[in-house]
């Protein structure tokens, strides 16, 4: 027969592990949200971005697709950084 203390430990571990599994699986759920979307639908979602098709170095062609990605910030673009440097240099 099993020890009641062992059952308590198992129950405690189960109750503490299940919420952690929910936190770990969140990125997986978000990634599938963008998969398979058409270009217009992809552009409508803030956390998705459209990737144009391209040919890899090994000759494999990759078709255009929607993927998860951070939205780009205009203030972090290379052009805005160059413009900021030019404006401070002319002062």
pLDDT in tens, 50-70: 999 999 999 999 999 999 886
Mean pLDDT for all residues in the chain: 74
Please report the DSSP string for 26-73 in residue order: HHHHHHHHHTT--HHHHHHSTTEEEE--EE-TTS-EE--EEEE-PPP-
Are the C-beta atoms of 32 and 25 separated by less than 8 Å? Answer: no
For the cut 60, the answer to whether the pLDDT of residue 86 exceeds it is no
The model carries a pTM of 0.43
Please indicate whether residue 78 or residue 36 has the higher confidence score (pLDDT): 36
Q: Which stretch of 16-25, 27-36, 44-53 has the lowest confidence by average pLDDT? A: 16-25
Over range 31-41, report the average pLDDT: 86
């Amino acid at each position: 027969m099993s020890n009641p203390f062992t059952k308590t430990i198992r129950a405690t571990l189960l109750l503490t592990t299940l919420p952690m599994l929910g936190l770990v699986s969140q990125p997986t759920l978000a990634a599938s949200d963008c998969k398979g979307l058409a270009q217009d639908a992809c552009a409508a979602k803030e956390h998705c971005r459209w990737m144009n098709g391209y040919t890899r170095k090994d000759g494999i062609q990759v078709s255009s697709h929607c993927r998860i990605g951070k939205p780009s910030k205009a203030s972090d673009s290379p052009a805005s950084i160059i413009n900021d440097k030019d404006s401070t240099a002319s002062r």
